[in-house]
Structure 1
Amino acid sequence: MAAIKSLARTHTVHAVNTLVQIMRDKNAPAHARVSAANAILDRGWGKPLQPIASEDGKPLSLFTALSGLLSIPAIT
């Protein structure tokens, strides 16, 4: 597995260059350009945090969300 990971990493520059080419190609389908742009942003800045909502749609705090997963009652 380490060998495959290492081999894949040797192609990083080419892969990013390919994504940039697709993103900048005015003739590429919009979904391909958006997908390439998102991939570049995710690799450069990380994926954005996704909010966690309760069953009623209200956002939960990280502590509340984790306490529910760990069966620890939240302190209110």
Structure 2
Amino acid sequence: MSEKVECGLASEPSRPPATKARSRARALTEIRSLARSHTRTALKVLVGIMRSDDATPAVRLSAANAILDRGWGKSAQPIESGEEGTVETVHRVERIIVRPEEAVDGDAGPKA
């Protein structure tokens, strides 16, 4: 090799070795891509099962739900309280930070 080529190779920044996390993320991306490439076929299978007279009603319902979930997303699940038949709705979640210097006597312990 000529000196110019050797110098050029030596001056190139070295790449850090691939970490396990990076290779794992790459593998997940490849798996996700491969799975998505079969979407049309999988959907045809689900539709075939849903329309099949030979399939049990439970299997047909499961296929129909899978189709709806993929097309429209899963429906929101209500939060049930301990009481029978009542459903709680969370209206607002609030985070309050109390600083000891701003606290009223007894609220946040002794002041410094």
Under a length normalisation based on structure 1, what TM-score does the superposition of the two structures give? 0.77
Query: 1:9 is matched by which residue type in structure 2?
Result: R
Compare CA radii of gyration and give the structure with the larger one. 2
Structure with the higher helix share, 1 or 2: 1
Gaps of 5+ in 1: 71-76
Q: How many residue pairs align between the two structures?
A: 67
Task: Please give the per-residue CA displacement for 1:2-61, whole angstroms capped at 9, x wherever unaligned.
Answer: 100000000000000000000001111111111000000111111111110112242111
When normalised by structure 2's length, the TM-score is: 0.54
Find runs of 4+ consecutive structure 1 residues off by over 6 angstroms.
none
Structure 1: how far apart are the matches of 2:35 and 2:90?
A: 34
Match of 1:61 in 2: 89
Alignment of 1:17-36 (within 5 A): 17-36=44-63
Structure 1 letter corresponding to 2:39: T
Kindly, what percent of the aligned residue pairs are identical? 48
Task: Please say which of residues 27-36 and 14-23 is displaced more in the overlay.
Answer: 27-36
* Unmatched 5+ stretches in structure 2: 1-27, 96-112
Instruction: Tell me which of the two structures has the higher relative contact order, counting C-alpha pairs closer than 8 angstroms and 6 or more residues apart.
Output: 1
